[in-house]
Amino acid sequence: MLLSMHGICKSFNGIPALRSASLEVGEAEVMALVGQNGAGKSTLIKILTGAYRRDEGSIAFAGEDVSFNMPAESQARGIATIYQEINLAPQRSVAENIYLSREPRRFGLIDRRAMREGAVAVLRTFNLEIDVDQPVAHFSAATRQMVAIARAVTQKARLVIMDEPTSSLDEREVAILFETIRTLKRAGVSVVFIGHRLDELYRICDSVTIMRDGKTVATGAMAEMPKLALVRHMLGKELAAFEAIAKDADEGAQRPVRLSVENAGAGVRVRNVSLTVREGEISGLAGLLGSGRTETANLIFGADRLERGEIRYKGQARSYRRPAEAIADGIGLVSEDRKVDGIIPDMSIRENMTLALLPKLARSGIVDRARQDEIVARYIAALGIKCTSPDQPIKELSGGNQQKVLLGRWLCTDPKLLIVDEPTRGIDIGAKAEILRLLRRLADEGLGVLMISSELEELLAAADRVTVLSDGTSVAVLPRRELSEAALFAAMAHQVE
């Protein structure tokens, strides 16, 4: 065993986060660490790396009892962590980021040539040829991740911890990452892979450790752990997550079309997109990263200008110049990146939810607090938002509940068309199902929903019809009855070859 953690307990302000958790990783083993949000995965990792101190328990690494006081100490011993939000210094060059804190030196000064050559050499082992003098901010998420891994490799890491490494990668980039993991494994390095996407876990991991409520509830070889059992361990209950809640598009064929996009195009990212959203329908929009999904949403919403084709909303041709015009027309957009575009972390649930509504709530410039309270209370109840009070800062909520507040923000403006971009990103499985059910209920009440998603299970479960984009072009429209993983894959692979 390279690493064995046993009986780890940790409380924050008297609230237990870990209750006798354990984790064992062998040499050159790729270990999946799974669990719902709040199961204690990241707390366990932070205790291992020395970012937190444990209350109880033992940690042995490479045959010795260890207790790290800060990340620098665990790094020095060969534990490297690649965090979800890829921790690199964005304005520093690739080479510097790989060598920060261990710069090669010559006569006491940084040996820039050795640094550059070393960086090029280590990146080449991962088949990556880039200008290592460029700031890392200039590169894509996948490349930044490779840089972070290269950093780990040059640190002579024996254990690399990856926290949701695929969350911002497209399929092709995931394949590159997995090849990198296999390279690490061949070099005798062990990997702890924290992830939500089951298919990926089965593709790359040797074993799995499942956590729930601060405890390790199951471990075993990945091949001997059926998907259903894994999910059951995670949720601690029968799988209710991905019950099919979609309806056959034919059922709604008589319903009026709320939005139709015909041969729309703008710039190079959106070439020729056609799609329809009917009243009371969840229309899915699928495609690999970079296929133009988000850009299409921005066109509809007026964040970008339409250059070619036509967008018809409620039967009338529309070309919004600003999102404000789309909003006034009853269109809402829940954007992909909650943390950047959506929530204002330090503000309360009340304020976050009524942000878009404030102009309407104000009477002669002063917010009508009574109406605000009433609306907020109604949506907290209707969406099942778990919180201590409407005054709780939104940053204290889980990802799923934050997403519900954002949904609430648009719902209280009474939209007729809601575009949701990756509505369940970074949310645990239980909350995902809840969000999907919520969207279905809203559709049943007459809302038209356009759901952009990279998660096939999600589209399969919830979408009444899926439009597939490839390279900025809509290449297929799959009605419910033709919808299957194979069909989606086939459509997405179109033109990618």
Partner 1 sequence: MNAFRNTFALKSSGDMARLGVILALAGLILFGALRYENFLSQYNILSFLRYNSMFALIALGMAFVIMTGGIDLSVGGTAAMASVVAALLSPYHWAAGLFGGIAAGLAVGALNGFTVTVMRIQPFIATLATMLAAYGTALLLAGNQSVSVSYDSGFTAIGQDDFLGFPIPAWIALLVYFAGWLVLERLPVGRHVLAIGDGEATAALMGLKVRRTLAAVYTGSGALAGLAGVILASQFGAGQPTEGVGWELFAIASVVVGGTLLTGGSGSVGATLAGALLLAMVFNILNFENGLGWISLSAYWQSVIRGGFLLVVVVLQARLMSRGASEGRV
Q: What is the distance between the alpha carbons of residues 185 and 435, in angstroms, rounded to a whole number?
A: 37
Side-chain half-sphere of 352: how many Cα atoms within 13 Å?
Answer: 30
Instruction: Give the footprint of partner 1 on this chain (CB under 8 A).
Output: 51, 70-72, 75-76, 81, 83, 87-92, 96, 100-101, 103, 105, 108-110, 133-135, 138-139, 151
Give kind and range of the element (H or E) at residue 142: helix 141-154
- Nearer to partner 1 among residue 115 and residue 492 (C-beta): 115
Q: What is the token pair recorded at 377?
A: 């209370």
- Nearer to partner 1 among residue 105 and residue 386 (C-beta): 105
| Distance in Å, CB of 110 to partner 1, minimum | 5
| Distance in Å, CB of 42 to partner 1, minimum | 13
Q: For residue 241, give Cα distances in angstroms to 49, 352, 395, 423.
A: 33, 28, 25, 15
| Distance in Å, CB of 138 to partner 1, minimum | 5
| Distance in Å, CB of 205 to partner 1, minimum | 24
| Distance in Å, CB of 120 to partner 1, minimum | 17
Please, where are the H alpha helices in 384-422?
A: 399-411
- For tokens 């991962």, name the residue: 126
Give kind and range of the element (H or E) at residue 106: strand 105-106
Secondary structure tally for the chain: helices H, strands E: 17, 24
| Distance in Å, CB of 94 to partner 1, minimum | 12
- Nearer to partner 1 among residue 36 and residue 75 (C-beta): 75
- Nearer to partner 1 among residue 96 and residue 281 (C-beta): 96
* Backbone φ, ψ for residue 21 (5° rounding): -95, 150
- Nearer to partner 1 among residue 76 and residue 377 (C-beta): 76
Residues whose CB falls within 8 Å of the CB of residue 399, separated by 6 or more in sequence, listed in order: 37, 338, 426, 427, 428, 431
| Distance in Å, CB of 476 to partner 1, minimum | 32
| Distance in Å, CB of 30 to partner 1, minimum | 22
| Distance in Å, CB of 100 to partner 1, minimum | 5
Q: For residue 420, give Cα distances in angstroms to 133, 293, 298.
A: 38, 11, 11
- Nearer to partner 1 among residue 153 and residue 241 (C-beta): 153
- Nearer to partner 1 among residue 49 and residue 354 (C-beta): 49
First CA to last CA distance, the chain? 42
Q: What is the token pair recorded at 10?
A: 């940790």
Q: What is the distance between the alpha carbons of residues 170 and 454, in angstroms, rounded to a whole number?
A: 9
- Nearer to partner 1 among residue 135 and residue 393 (C-beta): 135
Nearest to 189 by CA among 219, 238, 140, 156: 156
3-state secondary structure of 116: helix
- Nearer to partner 1 among residue 24 and residue 73 (C-beta): 73
* Backbone φ, ψ for residue 118 (5° rounding): -60, -40
- Nearer to partner 1 among residue 15 and residue 109 (C-beta): 109
- Nearer to partner 1 among residue 51 and residue 239 (C-beta): 51
Residues 431/37, Cβ–Cβ less than 8 Å: yes
Residues 124/130, Cβ–Cβ less than 8 Å: no
Q: Count CB neighbours of 109 within 10 A.
A: 8
Strands (DSSP E) found in 190-307: 190-194, 207-212, 215-221, 257-266, 270-278, 282-286
Q: What is the token pair recorded at 430?
A: 């239980």
| Distance in Å, CB of 99 to partner 1, minimum | 9
| Distance in Å, CB of 337 to partner 1, minimum | 18
- Nearer to partner 1 among residue 4 and residue 84 (C-beta): 84
Q: Count CB neighbours of 37 within 10 A.
A: 17
| Distance in Å, CB of 70 to partner 1, minimum | 8
- For tokens 């034919």, name the residue: 250
